[in-house]
Amino acid sequence: MKYKTINKILIFFVLVMSSTQFVAAQGALAIQILPVFNGKPLQLNEKMYRTENGDSVSIETFKFYMSSLKLLNDHFIYQEPNSYHLVDAEDSNSLYFKIEQIPSGIYSSLSFNIGVDSIASVSGALGGALDPTFGMYWAWNTGYINAKLVGSSPSCNTMHHQFEFHIGGYKEPYLMLRKVQIPLRECTIKDGLTQTIILQADIATWFSGIHLTSLNNVVLPSVEALKIADNYMEMFHDSSNIAEKK
């Protein structure tokens, strides 16, 4: 009996140690969004900026969805569950969010969608970041606004010289969801630690090839909206010195 008891204890100990070895080490990634215009920090309603075509613009509203976030390396892809984040330049809290429980390892790139997928778009009013009260939802047949930019320019022959770009649409031929993949300078996820990356979101890219005298109101799915969506795919850059903290 004595030896049987000892054997049972030893077996239990081995099983516990074995199961512990298979628990993957996990860390976290914090993402900070830095809205800029031509690389300079954005000041809403306070500063005039110049587009590549010479239009002077003041920015009033800048919002966009980041969804389906993934970290990638040569051997592994980690995807954040329930991955929807609304970034709003007017809300500093929305410019910083954290992804938890990422398997430890070295990741070479970050991918995500700008906008909301068709499944969420046809699901009606949802909660969290997808709550319609944030002003980023049209209706079930047009879905979510993927990205929104509102401001003013002397070039606009509109009331208050305002321009409005509300870019969305999930049906052919106006599919506005855009996938972005950004090489990371260094991203090593370590057990129990949080890494931070800083992504610049440069509004100047929205205006590439755009003359506000002729194009200043895009608020429905259209050919013009496709052009702007293609433009803002290029607005993200990793500008971080990777930070590590407990």
Percent of the chain residues topping a pLDDT of 90:
78
Average pLDDT of the residues in 93-100: 96
Average pLDDT of the residues in 126-149: 91
3-state secondary structure the chain: CHHHHHHHHHHHHHHHHHHHHCCCCEEEEEEEEEEEECCEECCCCCCCEECCCCCEEEEEEEEEEEEEEEEECCCCEEECCCCEEEEECCCHHHHEEEEEEEECEECCEEEEEECCCHHHHCCCCCCHHHCHHHCCEEECCCEEEEEEEEEECCCCCCHHHEEEEEEECEECCEECCEEEEEECCCCEECCCCEEEEEEEEEHHHHHCCCCCCCCCEECCCCHHHHHHHHHHCCCEEECCCCEEEC
Model confidence over 38-64: pLDDT tens digits?
A: 999 999 998 999 999 999 999 999 999
Average pLDDT of the residues in 205-229: 97
If one compares 17 and 104, the residue with the highest pLDDT of the two is 104
Question: Model confidence at 22, in pLDDT bands (50, 70, 90)?
Answer: very low
